Amino acid sequence: MKEIIGKVQNIGKEIIGKITKKDSLIRFNKKLILVTESPKKRYTRYQAIITIPTMINKIDGVVFYTEDIESLNEEDIVLITPDGRISVLYQSNSYHNVLLLTNLCNCNCIMCPQQKVKNENDMTPLNIELISLMSKKTKQLGITGGEPTLLGDNFFRIISECKTRLPETSIEVLSNGIKFKDFEFTKELALLEHPDLLIAISLYADTDNAHNNIIQTKGFYDTIEGFYNLALFQQKIEIRVVINALNYKRLPKLAEFIYHNFPFVYHIAMMGMEPTGLAEKNINKVWIDPYEYKNELRKAIIYLNQRDMNVSIYNHQLCLLPEELWPYARKSISTWKNLYLNECTGCQIKDNCGGFFESSRKYHSKYIHLLNK
């Protein structure tokens, strides 16, 4: 998530609230946080004020000082902490908002962009409050972890809150699928009857040894059983394949495996790796230049498309893909960590390209080049 560093005044505990830049005497919603360059001396109707450093010691109350106020938008939702940080939990102008339910996980994927944790505080109350503040016009919301299904009843509570408070928002849950081997767990999710819920499950290879070697646990057959339980309850399923040095050679075989065993899935995403967290720690094992696997990727994509399966390519740059694969490429990287390299300056196809992860500054293809329309 995006973070802003600054200085605080009278902030003794974490504050979560919705940004407004419209100062009005008739607004008494204490969940509002006013952003202004010219604040008045005293405020009582806002939870906090965010302003510029030149206003230090000129305002009473709960205040956060930063030069970076222009990056905050109307109806963004932020968390302000006493150590002088603003975490932007929800961006009103973004299509890539997510709820992080937990950092705990029952896998240890070798190319995971996060670091595994053993203990943490319950994030459920914060996420419930965050959902209550979100715009009802939110089109899509991701639910991620860690492994969000590990929360059990709190996982169902989050889905239920989304259904109630965000009835027109599509929900996408990122999961390793292992928990859905439990028939009763899957049934309980289905009984919530969320109108637009997608379960996106990771599958990295067509064999148990290859898949388990990547997730660092014996989960292949549990995930397979999870697919079938979800299908039994007519849940919408996506398969996500993160391509790395350990599985790229098997992409055509994996495409065949998916078609023959999971013809019911809604969507398949072939994904470039995000080189941070455990992925960076294991970079010598998992990194491969995307240019080097373009032929395997092409075979997998064309095979699935010819069989009328809905397939996309995420997190790849157009200049590294055969032109016949461009229609499958999506701009999938979250806006707060999406960038273009200096090598992209002057590219005429840049606006159609998905760009890079922030962490790709260090690890990216040596074949990046400019394209002409």
Q: Are residues 75 and 103 located together in one domain of the fold?
A: no
Predicted pLDDT of residue 226: 98
CA neighbor of 169 nearest in space, from 198, 149, 191, 205: 198
> How many angstroms from the chain centroid is the CA of residue 347?
27
Bigger pLDDT: 322 vs 40: 322
Q: Show which of 88, 112, 134 is a domain's final residue.
A: 88
Q: Are residues 57 and 206 located together in one domain of the fold?
A: no
Tell me the residue length of the chain: 373
Predicted pLDDT of residue 294: 97
Tens of pLDDT along 111-139? 999 988 888 999 999 999 999 999 999 99
Predicted pLDDT of residue 26: 60
CATH of the domain at 45: 3.50.30.10
Q: Considering the chain, what percentage of its residues have pLDDT values greater than 90?
A: 87
Q: Are residues 60 and 115 located together in one domain of the fold?
A: no
Predicted pLDDT of residue 42: 66
Predicted pLDDT of residue 35: 93
Average pLDDT over residues 150-179: 98
Average pLDDT over residues 68-96: 94
pLDDT of residue 262 exceeding 80: yes
Predicted pLDDT of residue 90: 97
Domains: count for the chain: 2
Estimate the share of the chain in helix, then strand, then coil, as percent rounded to the nearest 5: 35, 20, 45
Averaged confidence pLDDT in the chain: 94
Lowest mean pLDDT among 156-165, 183-192, 285-294, 327-336: 327-336
Buried residues in 338-372 as b, exposed as e (16+ CB within 10 A)? beeeebbeebeebeebbbbbebbeebbbeebeebe
Q: Are residues 12 and 154 located together in one domain of the fold?
A: no
Exposed / middle / buried, residue 199 (Cβ in 10 Å: 0-12, 13-18, 19+): buried
Buried residues in 296-321 as b, exposed as e (16+ CB within 10 A)? bbbebbbbbbeeebebbbbbbbbbbb
Q: Are residues 285 and 350 located together in one domain of the fold?
A: yes
Average pLDDT over residues 42-56: 85
CA neighbor of 183 nearest in space, from 238, 232, 221, 235: 232
Q: Are residues 134 and 263 located together in one domain of the fold?
A: yes
Q: Are residues 119 and 44 located together in one domain of the fold?
A: no
> Has residue 167 been placed in a domain?
yes
Predicted pLDDT of residue 57: 79
Whole-number CA gyration radius for the chain = 22
Q: How far apart are CA 165 and CA 134, in angstroms?
A: 9
Predicted pLDDT of residue 8: 93
Average pLDDT over residues 59-79: 92
Q: For residue 356, what pLDDT band results from cuts at 50, 70 and 90?
A: very high
Pairing of strands 356-357, 338-339: antiparallel
End-to-end CA distance of the chain: 34
Average pLDDT over residues 265-291: 97
- How many CA atoms lie less than 13 Å away from 113 in the CB half-sphere? 14
> How many angstroms from the chain centroid is the CA of residue 19?
22
Q: Show which of 88, 106, 121 is a domain's final residue.
A: 88
Q: What DSSP string describes 71-122? A: G--TT-EEEEETTTEEEEEE-TT-S--EEE--S--S---TT-SS---S----
> Has residue 373 been placed in a domain?
no
pLDDT of residue 29 exceeding 70: no
Q: Considering the chain, what percentage of its residues have pLDDT values greater than 70?
A: 98
Q: For residue 105, what pLDDT band results from cuts at 50, 70 and 90?
A: very high
Q: How far apart are CA 131 and CA 15, in angstroms?
A: 15
Tokens for 127, please give them.
Answer: 């996420």
Q: Where are the beta strands (DSSP E) in the chain?
A: 2-5, 7-9, 15-20, 32-35, 48-51, 63-65, 77-81, 85-90, 98-100, 140-144, 170-175, 197-202, 236-242, 267-271, 311-314, 338-339, 356-357
Q: What are phi and psi of 157, to 5 degrees?
A: -65, -40
CATH of the domain at 187: 3.20.20.70
Q: Are residues 223 and 260 located together in one domain of the fold?
A: yes
pTM of this structure: 0.93
Q: What are phi and psi of 153, to 5 degrees?
A: -60, -35
Q: Are residues 66 and 133 located together in one domain of the fold?
A: no
Q: For residue 41, what pLDDT band results from cuts at 50, 70 and 90?
A: low
- The residue segments making up the domain with residue 218 are 98-361
Q: Show which of 27, 62, 88 is a domain's final residue.
A: 88
Q: What DSSP string describes 343-369? A: GGTT-TTGGGS--EEGGGGTS--TT--
**Rounded to the nearest 5 degrees, what angle is found at the Cα of 204, between the Cα atoms of 201 and 206?**
110
Tens of pLDDT along 212-256? 999 999 999 999 999 999 999 999 999 999 999 999 999 999 999
Q: How far apart are CA 40 and CA 282, in angstroms?
A: 52
Average pLDDT over residues 75-83: 96
Q: What DSSP string describes 172-190? A: EEEE-SGGGGSHHHHHHHH
Q: Are residues 292 and 220 located together in one domain of the fold?
A: yes
